[in-house]
Structure 1
Amino acid sequence: MYINRALLLLLGLALIFLPAIENWLWQSPTEWYRPYLLWLAAIAAGWWNQRSRYPDEL
């Protein structure tokens, strides 16, 4: 199974900075859209990672 190096690096950085990200997400109750921004970034990163792969490479 092929694991993209950039994706593995991003996962490692996310684990390191998870406490800071969690504090940023739940810091203010009035900014309800912050968790959705995180999900949008994850979806965009997944699309960006897979956009150049051909269907027969899976």
Structure 2
Amino acid sequence: MNNQRLVILLLLVAYIFSPTLFTWIINPEGAWFRPYIIWVAVIIIAYIVQSRKKRPHDL
């Protein structure tokens, strides 16, 4: 149940800040690597979430 609350909270925060974030990403005066910052953050968060799950039967 705790994980569901976290996911709902993250989705709510993403929904609230998505217009500002999208504007920041597509700003033509910004750096070329801005969209990649978001994807790197998503990959790092996914890695952290997966590494916290302890599975003793997995190799």
TM-score band (shorter)? 0.7 to 0.9
1:1-58 equivalence runs, <5 A: 4=3, 5-55=5-55
Give the TM-score normalised by structure 1. 0.73
> CA deviation digits over 1:7-52, x for unaligned, max 9?
3311210011100000110113451100000000011111111211
Indicate the SS of the match to 1:51.
helix
One-letter code aligned to 1:11? L
Which ranges in structure 1 are unaligned for 5 or more consecutive residues? none
**RMSD of equivalent CA atoms:** 2.2
SS of the residue corresponding to residue 28 of structure 2 reads: coil
Structure 1 or 2, whichever has the larger Rg, is: 2
**Once the two structures are aligned, what percentage of the paired residues are identical?**
33
Q: Relative contact order: is structure 1 or structure 2 higher (C-alpha 8 Å, sep ≥ 6)? A: 1
